[in-house]
Amino acid sequence: MTVKSPQTKDALSGKKTTARNIVEKIWESHVVRQNEGHPALFAIDLMLVHEVTSAQAFQEIEKRGINVADPTRVIATIDHSIPTRQNRTEIYDEAARAQVEALRNNCKRHGIRLLDFDGGQGIVHVVGPELGLTQPGMTIVCGDSHTSTHGAFGALAFGVGTSEVAHVLATGCLLQQSPKSMLVEFRGRFRKGVFAKDAVLKLIAELGIGGATGHVIEYTGESVRAMSMEERMTVCNMSIECGARAGLIAPDATTYAYLNGKEHAPTDENWDKAVAYWNSIQSDPGAPYDKRVIIDLDELRPMITWGTNPGQGAQLTETAGAGAAVADAGRDRALQYVKLENGQPLLGVAVDWAFVGSCTNGRIEDLRIAAQVLAGQKVHERVTFYVVPGSESVRTQAIAEGLDKVFENAGAQFRMPGCSLCLAMNDDKVPEGLRCISSSNRNFVGRQGPGSITHLASPATVAASAVAGCITSPESYFAK
Amino acid sequence: MEPVKTINSQVLPIAMKDIDTDLIIPAQYLTSISRGGYGENLFRRLKDGDPNFAFNQPKYKGAQILVADDNFGCGSSREHAVWALRDAGIKAVISKSFADIFYNNSAKNGLLLVTLPAEVIDRILVEAAAAEVYVVNVDLAGQYIQLPGDERHCFTFDDFRKYCLLNGLDDIEYIRSYEQDVQAFRAKQQSYFQPVLA
């Protein structure tokens, strides 16, 4: 494939321009070398590492006798395969224990900082921003598809496989083809009880799960500007669910207010220098994009998925199968798996489990919203409700605010940080045949446990449904 | 990496869109720290749930070419999905399109991904399911696929990736050969941007 020539035409207007968008600016500032007809030699500023996708990468470089090129550009944590019970430091599962041990040894051997139990541990995409490691204009990778989360800060952040983890360990670089760009504008304002998760689920339902393949999305619009960093992370996190390579939001005062004072954020005159640089990566006025999408939020109601991929979603007030093509084999297969009839109302479908957590919605703001719904309420007797903070620091903050008591009084379990029920590769699993309403990011067949059924929704919808024992709108909790 | 040149094999058809990496290899099988041994649990949920699933049918035993509908390999970044396919003997996947990360991971492991027009894929899926024997030849150097009855279809392929696959080369040595460029880049970058963990 030939290298993409500098883009001069906008997809919508067809106008030619020299203006550049933020994706192009970050891309161009990280191309180390471009050989004719080859992918770019592309510099990576930060790599996040976790236990599941790194062991084979360390083996690969050691086999070749290569050291880690720059340990100051790598940070590690444990999140996917660990338990979330109180006495979590003892991992009963032999393979999971070996995986965590392997990461500890690899980090020690190569001088990489590891955020271990009681040492700042958390989900990889929660701890990076918390520590101020994620900064605008950076290139960030991790052996994890939800690396797009870090785009909330105006970083170009994307998931890679284990071979590419090895490439970055060995060289600090990757071979990459330049991405296409897509502008997604969220127009209008959220109604009460509708959240960032609903906006991104709406986008994925509109685009389909392959709709943004090959593209990096820039999210814009007045509602995006009004979003907190937590909400922006939720939106960028789910970019991969419509196939995008990454998703990002240009940095602004909200970004800088969040970063300022964080452990690894620049200080004093370096801060001023950094802000000047971060302001320079904004998309130029009239910058072109390969594709443009507009999503109206004014009338949007809370979203939920009814099927077995994140694109099979609808507003709560709609029905199972909504939005899918008539006589779509994928729709029918999905409905059969989730035990719903085509056209069946989604409101009122009984749920057995509920989950607030994950790299999508496991931050302090998500826990506050869940607590706002649960305050003075009881979780339905049939429902098992896990609230899993995204990191030790989220957990500490939640306890300081008394949220743990709210969850416990309502009958929900407030657990230790980790990926937990998002992906069923640790002790936390939804039992076969049971239905879970979940704030996580994927509803693939068996994602939360063999034979489990998943409905993705916002933390507010999860909490409201856990109280009612069935799929329920949270809007009444937020109508003042 | 072993060079990839031509693959001549029975086709194993899976007429499904959006086959995600959780379906290819469920997360519960990812706790291993080795690259091998994942083939046994390839498509575990479909193998267990459907006796007629292609991987359960004797006629597809030993098939090296998997043909699927659109958007193959979407979802998680797990390279284990590619390792599981390779471990189970699959050398090429043909589909209408592939997810980005899966595409990159395949190139690193000698798994050949071929994109063909929708109408060709639809026909292969029907014919390969109906026939007892349906052998296809994939030629990377010539960039064509030959169906039964000498029907040929050309496919496009990234020149650089083709060169790497044909010669069994990987990225690490390529990047390392430009170490001086990388150092020069980092020196320049330091004037406005320090590593955050330094």
Closest chain A residue to the Cα of B156, Cα to Cα: A1
ipTM above 0.90, yes or no: yes
Of B22, B74, B104, the CB nearest to A447: B22
Contact B108 A423 (CB under 8 A): no
Of A53, A166, A446, the CB nearest to B77: A53
Q: What is the pLDDT of residues A54-101, one digit of tens each?
A: 999 999 999 999 999 999 999 999 999 999 999 999 999 999 999 999
Q: How far is CA A304 from the centre of its chain?
A: 17
Q: What is the pLDDT of residues B101-137, one digit of tens each?
A: 999 999 999 999 999 999 999 999 999 999 999 999 9
Whole-angstrom Cα distance, residue A131 to residue A138?
15
Give the torsion sign (CA, A337, A342, A344, A347): positive
Report chain A residues whose CB lies below 8 A from the CB of B161.
1
Q: What is the pLDDT of residues B139-167, one digit of tens each?
A: 999 999 999 999 999 999 999 999 999 99
Checking if the pLDDT of A180 tops 80, the result is yes
Query: Which of B19, B25, B32, B74 is the best residue to mutate to test the A interface, defined by the most A CB atoms within 10 Å of its own CB?
Result: B74
A-B contacts (CB, under 8 Å): 202
Contact B178, A245 (CB under 8 A): no
Report chain A residues whose CB lies below 8 A from the CB of B74.
209-210, 243, 309
User: What's the pLDDT score for residue A3?
Assistant: 37
Whole-angstrom Cα distance, residue A204 to residue A212?
9
φ, ψ (nearest 5 deg) of residue B106? -65, -45
User: What's the pLDDT score for residue A16?
Assistant: 79
Counting residues of chain A whose pLDDT is more than 70, the rounded percentage is: 98
Least confident range of A10-14, A21-25, A427-431, B165-169: A10-14
Chain A within 8 Å of B186 (Cβ-Cβ)?
A: yes
**Eight-state DSSP code of residue A325:** P
Residues with Cβ within 8 Å of residue A328, at least 6 apart in sequence: none
Tell me what the mean pLDDT of segment B83-100 comes to: 98
Checking if the pLDDT of A371 tops 90, the result is yes
Contact B46, B23 (CB under 8 A): yes
Structure tokens of A195?
Answer: 């959240």
Q: Which is nearest to A198 in space by CA: A345, A75, A350, A360?
A: A360
Whole-angstrom Cα distance, residue B94 to residue B91?
10
Tell me what the mean pLDDT of segment A183-211 comes to: 97
Report chain A residues whose CB lies below 8 A from the CB of B34.
56
Domain contains B34? yes
How far is the alpha carbon of A42 from chain B, nearest alpha carbon, in Å? 9
Q: What is the pLDDT of residues A341-357, one digit of tens each?
A: 999 999 999 999 999 99
Whole-angstrom Cα distance, residue A262 to residue A279?
19
Which residues constitute the domain of residue B48?
A: 6-192
Contact A121, A81 (CB under 8 A): no
Contact B171 A163 (CB under 8 A): yes
Q: What is the pLDDT of residues B19-56, one digit of tens each?
A: 999 999 999 999 999 999 999 999 999 999 999 999 99
Closest chain B residue to the Cα of A135, Cα to Cα: B196
Whole-angstrom Cα distance, residue B45 to residue B37?
17
Domain contains B47? yes
Whole-angstrom Cα distance, residue A146 to residue A311?
16
CA distances from A58 to A114, B76, B86, B144 (A): 15, 20, 21, 37
Domain contains B158? yes
Closest chain B residue to the Cα of A208, Cα to Cα: B18
User: What's the pLDDT score for residue A123?
Assistant: 98
Structure tokens of A260?
Answer: 């300022």
Contact B31 A167 (CB under 8 A): no
Give the torsion sign (CA, A256, A44, A219, A419): negative
Residue A11: pLDDT band (50, 70, 90) is confident
Q: Which residues pair with B151 in a beta bridge?
A: B147
Of A32, A171, A240, the CB nearest to B176: A171
Checking if the pLDDT of A119 tops 90, the result is yes
Which parts of A111-160 fold into alpha helices (H)?
A: 124-130
Checking if the pLDDT of A13 tops 90, the result is no
| Residues belonging to chain A | 480
User: What's the pLDDT score for residue A10?
Assistant: 73
Domain contains B29? yes
Domain contains B1? no
Q: What value does the mean pLDDT of chain A take?
A: 95
User: What's the pLDDT score for residue A4?
Assistant: 44
Whole-angstrom Cα distance, residue A82 to residue A103?
12
Domain contains B197? no
Contact A83, A426 (CB under 8 A): yes
Domain contains B131? yes
Q: What is the pTM of this model?
A: 0.96
How far is the alpha carbon of A475 from chain B, nearest alpha carbon, in Å? 30
Structure tokens of A264?
Answer: 């690894």
Contact A81, A99 (CB under 8 A): yes
Contact A144 B16 (CB under 8 A): no
Number of domains in chain B: 1
Residue A20: pLDDT band (50, 70, 90) is very high
Give, for A139, the enclosing helix (H) or strand (E): strand A139-142
Contact A184, B124 (CB under 8 A): no
How buried is A12 (Cβ within 10 angstroms: 0-12 exposed, 13-18 middle, 19+ buried)? exposed
Q: Look up the CATH number of the domain holding residue B178.
A: 3.20.19.10
Give, for A463, the enclosing helix (H) or strand (E): helix A459-468
User: What's the pLDDT score for residue A12?
Assistant: 65
Q: Which residues pair with B137 in a beta bridge?
A: B8, B146
User: What's the pLDDT score for residue A2?
Assistant: 35
User: What's the pLDDT score for residue B191?
Assistant: 84
Report chain B residues whose CB lies below 8 A from the CB of A75.
197
Domain contains B84? yes
Whole-angstrom Cα distance, residue A394 to residue A388?
10
Checking if the pLDDT of A1 tops 70, the result is no
Q: Which is nearest to A157 in space by CA: A130, A129, A185?
A: A129
